[in-house]
A and B are shown apart, each in its own frame.
Chain A
Amino acid sequence: MLRVVKPKNSRSKRFLDNREAKAVENVKTALVLRGSNTSEIVKEALADLYALKKPDAVSFSKKNEIHPFDDQAPLEALLRKNDTSLFLLGTHSKKRPHNLVFGRAFDHQILDMIEVGIEYAIPGYVFADAKCAVGARPLFLFQGEAFDQREEYRAFKNLLIDFFHGEFTDGIDLHGIQHMISVTAGPLPADESESGVIYFRVLSIELKKSGTKNPRVETTEMGPALDFRIRRTKLADMNTWRQATRVPREMHARNVKNINRDGMGDTYGRIHLGEQKLDEIQTRKMKALKLTRQEKKSQQNDAEGDDGSMNVE
């Protein structure tokens, strides 16, 4: 017999159903974990980035013998077990000091990952006064030409947005805008294989009166402030990427026939109301038009006679 996992009660059925592939997906959960050795800088960076990703994140506090660029299997097993599709691995070694690996998985298989070294770090607790609410959607700002020029920069931008964007909504509360993730690409070295510094900053946003419709924006850093340099990368191969970015049929915008919209957002269409029955229409109530008690009774008797039933008294 092929082993068929069958849930024994509805709670576990719901749990398993939730893990199935869905047309409209939930927010990606991130797994934040440590490699076999971590430095203080890496630990603090992990904690800060975890706080930024909360509540859609799982944090592991123990060491793991995981080297995703050598062997992906153990990490994929962890991703599958925790049903997470993003990961952030922190390591520290002599060869690659203060190392972070950002990555994501498609169908529990690693899709792409980018390893960055931390060159400068100020942990979040240094900026004590400014903090944002858990689960608030961040704004993103990417500055520098490099995000358009280099393949790994473009991938890193896509990965960071995917990592931190939070829940998709069709609108945003104007007073709920609280923080921004700003990523600035420093000057690129002449050597194609080398990466420039990438400045990762998180700022809290304050909206102030400006006398116009748009508010005046004031920013204060809320941390962490990290300078990265890209090390090893494993970018998604074309085929898997195409698979992963497929849009399910349910999500395609349907063409609605015979309804038009103009530039002002007004809707035009022809409405069919059906025949108007003027004799049954409710007009203004007047005493003169009211049926007397006798008229009512005779009408009732007529109706009963019509349907062929017998009156028994």
Chain B
Amino acid sequence: MDVSSALEAHKKKFKTTEVEKVIPLDIDLGLLTASDINVLDDSLLKSKDTAALNKYLRRITRDGAQLLINSIFSRPTRTTEDSVIAELPKPFLKLPREKHVPKPKPLTRWEKFAQTKGIQSTKRSQKVFDEATGEYLPRWGYRGVNDAEKQWLVEVKDGADPFQDQFQKLRDEKKERVNKNQRRHQRNLEESAAEQRSISNPRSMQKKDLQRTLVLSKSSTASMGRFDRQLVGEPKVKGVKRKFKSNDVDAGEEKDTSLKLLKKVVDAPKGKIDVHKAIRKLKK
């Protein structure tokens, strides 16, 4: 049975989806982009007749859209609950990133040391068996087994002061350990920050900051630090000393300064004059 005539008749009911172009479009499906380098009708594009121009643009743009849609519809598809999704390849065009490629996190002092010594961390279970209660309890932290407070009896070691509160001693030791760890943590943070800003010696930065804090704290007394004891090696504070010129100068000098200023203004590159600063200078 010949169905070609029936097919032809069916096809004629609809508008065509085919578009002819001399040079095929360059299609980057990852970005849903088509580039058409076919020659355009310059006479229409140059004409002053915006209606004709817009009509022409609409026509060629529809053709481009049809070609792009055709290539999207020829992609393999997958169906989800309520949609058909055409799979797209990776984009071909290179687009710049927003931010740099992430750098690896700087190692802490311990991690550096462990690396050189070849120490590998072993995974410890988070909970340990507590024989007293027969339960698994956290190794540390809330309800942890290493809590000094929890012990009901603490041995007084040989040679220790019998009158010392052993519980208090344990508490103090723990506090000291926590503080020390916090200092180490802070140091690691500072060193990694220095590394990221490519400062070779973080200690120099620390010193500067310490001196600044010292100066600030010394001037924070009621007398602005006037009666404070001087420290050894105290940094000198560089303040702003105000200088006033005398009001009665001879005419020649005044003329010279004004001319100098004027020259500066006239010769300066455009946009480099700070008006407020200039007024300030003139007032002096």
Contacts from A to B (Cβ < 8 Å)? 1-4, 6, 20-23, 25-26, 28, 70, 85, 104-107, 111, 120, 137-145, 147-148, 157-158, 161-162, 165, 168-177, 180, 182, 184, 186-187, 197, 199, 201, 203, 205, 207-219, 221, 225, 236, 241, 243-248, 265
Residues of A within 8 A of B93 (CB): 158, 161
Inter-chain residue pair count (beta carbon < 8 A): 223
- When A and B form their complex, which 5 residue pairs have the shortest distance between CB atoms, in order from nearest? A244-B96, A21-B99, A171-B85, A140-B33, A141-B64
Do residues B14 and A175 form an inter-chain contact, with CB atoms below 8 A?
no
Residues of A within 8 A of B65 (CB): 139, 141, 180, 182, 203, 205, 217, 219
Q: List 15 A-B contacts (CB under 8 A).
A: A2-B190, A21-B99, A144-B36, A165-B31, A173-B83, A173-B84, A175-B84, A177-B69, A209-B14, A211-B14, A212-B11, A212-B14, A217-B17, A245-B96, A246-B97
| Residue in B36, B68, B83, B209 whose beta carbon sits within 8 Å of that of A1 in the complex | B209
Do residues B11 and A211 form an inter-chain contact, with CB atoms below 8 A?
yes
What residue in chain B is nearest A26 (Cβ atoms)?
B98
| Residue in A142, A172, A219 whose beta carbon sits within 8 Å of that of B88 in the complex | A172
Do residues B37 and A221 form an inter-chain contact, with CB atoms below 8 A?
no
Q: Of the 9-residue stretches B40-48, B115-123, B236-244, which lies at the interface with chain A?
A: B40-48
Residues of A within 8 A of B100 (CB): 21, 106-107, 243, 246
Could you tell me the distance between the alpha carbons of A147 and B10 in the complex, rounded to whole angstroms?
40
Do residues A162 and B95 form an inter-chain contact, with CB atoms below 8 A?
yes
Distance of B103 from chain A, by nearest CB (Å): 8
Distance of B85 from chain A, by nearest CB (Å): 4
Distance of B29 from chain A, by nearest CB (Å): 9
Distance of B245 from chain A, by nearest CB (Å): 34
Contacts from B to A (Cβ < 8 Å)? 10-11, 13-17, 30-40, 42, 45-46, 50, 54, 57-58, 60-62, 64-66, 68-70, 72-74, 76-78, 83-88, 91, 93-103, 186, 189-190, 193-194, 197, 199, 202, 205-206, 209-210, 271
Could you tell me the distance between the alpha carbons of A250 and B30 in the complex, rounded to whole angstroms?
19
Residues of B within 8 A of A265 (CB): 76
Distance of A7 from chain B, by nearest CB (Å): 12
Do residues B86 and A142 form an inter-chain contact, with CB atoms below 8 A?
no
| Residue in A169, A201, A205, A245 whose beta carbon sits within 8 Å of that of B97 in the complex | A245
Could you tell me the distance between the alpha carbons of A187 and B45 in the complex, rounded to whole angstroms?
7
If A4-B189, A244-B96 touch, whether A217 touches B45 (CB-CB below 8 Å) is: no
Do residues A184 and B206 form an inter-chain contact, with CB atoms below 8 A?
no
Distance of A52 from chain B, by nearest CB (Å): 15
| Residue in A186, A203, A205, A247 whose beta carbon sits within 8 Å of that of B45 in the complex | A186
Do residues B97 and A174 form an inter-chain contact, with CB atoms below 8 A?
no
Do residues A241 and B14 form an inter-chain contact, with CB atoms below 8 A?
no
Could you tell me the distance between the alpha carbons of A166 and B93 in the complex, rounded to whole angstroms?
15
Do residues B84 and A210 form an inter-chain contact, with CB atoms below 8 A?
no
Do residues A168 and B45 form an inter-chain contact, with CB atoms below 8 A?
no
Do residues A140 and B73 form an inter-chain contact, with CB atoms below 8 A?
no
Do residues B271 and A70 form an inter-chain contact, with CB atoms below 8 A?
yes
Do residues B36 and A143 form an inter-chain contact, with CB atoms below 8 A?
yes
Do residues B32 and A248 form an inter-chain contact, with CB atoms below 8 A?
no
Do residues A174 and B58 form an inter-chain contact, with CB atoms below 8 A?
no
Do residues A215 and B73 form an inter-chain contact, with CB atoms below 8 A?
yes
Residues of B within 8 A of A165 (CB): 31-32, 95
What residue in chain B is nearest A86 (Cβ atoms)?
B98
What residue in chain A is nearest B77 (Cβ atoms)?
A174
Residues of B within 8 A of A244 (CB): 96-97
Do residues A2 and B206 form an inter-chain contact, with CB atoms below 8 A?
yes
Beyond the given pairs A107-B100, A165-B31, 4 more chain A to chain B contacts, judged by CB atoms under 8 angstroms and listed by A's residue number, are A70-B271, A106-B100, A176-B83, A245-B96
Could you tell me the distance between the alpha carbons of A174 and B16 in the complex, rounded to whole angstroms?
19
| Residue in A140, A170, A241 whose beta carbon sits within 8 Å of that of B32 in the complex | A140
Distance of B45 from chain A, by nearest CB (Å): 5
| Residue in A26, A211, A247 whose beta carbon sits within 8 Å of that of B10 in the complex | A211
Could you tell me the distance between the alpha carbons of A145 and B40 in the complex, rounded to whole angstroms?
9
What residue in chain B is nearest A207 (Cβ atoms)?
B69
If A2-B193, A199-B57, A214-B17 touch, whether A171 touches B102 (CB-CB below 8 Å) is: no
Do residues B64 and A174 form an inter-chain contact, with CB atoms below 8 A?
no
What residue in chain A is nearest B96 (Cβ atoms)?
A244
Do residues A187 and B42 form an inter-chain contact, with CB atoms below 8 A?
yes
Distance of A259 from chain B, by nearest CB (Å): 19
Residues of A within 8 A of B14 (CB): 208-212, 216
Distance of A250 from chain B, by nearest CB (Å): 9
If A138-B32, A210-B14, A215-B17 touch, whether A182 touches B73 (CB-CB below 8 Å) is: no
Residues of B within 8 A of A187 (CB): 40, 42, 45-46
Do residues B17 and A236 form an inter-chain contact, with CB atoms below 8 A?
no
Could you tell me the distance between the alpha carbons of A18 and B45 in the complex, rounded to whole angstroms?
47
Residues of B within 8 A of A145 (CB): 37, 39
| Residue in B34, B46, B96, B99 whose beta carbon sits within 8 Å of that of A140 in the complex | B34
Distance of A227 from chain B, by nearest CB (Å): 9
Do residues B61 and A173 form an inter-chain contact, with CB atoms below 8 A?
no
Residues of A within 8 A of B210 (CB): 1
Do residues A140 and B85 form an inter-chain contact, with CB atoms below 8 A?
no
Do residues B40 and A184 form an inter-chain contact, with CB atoms below 8 A?
yes
Do residues A213 and B88 form an inter-chain contact, with CB atoms below 8 A?
no
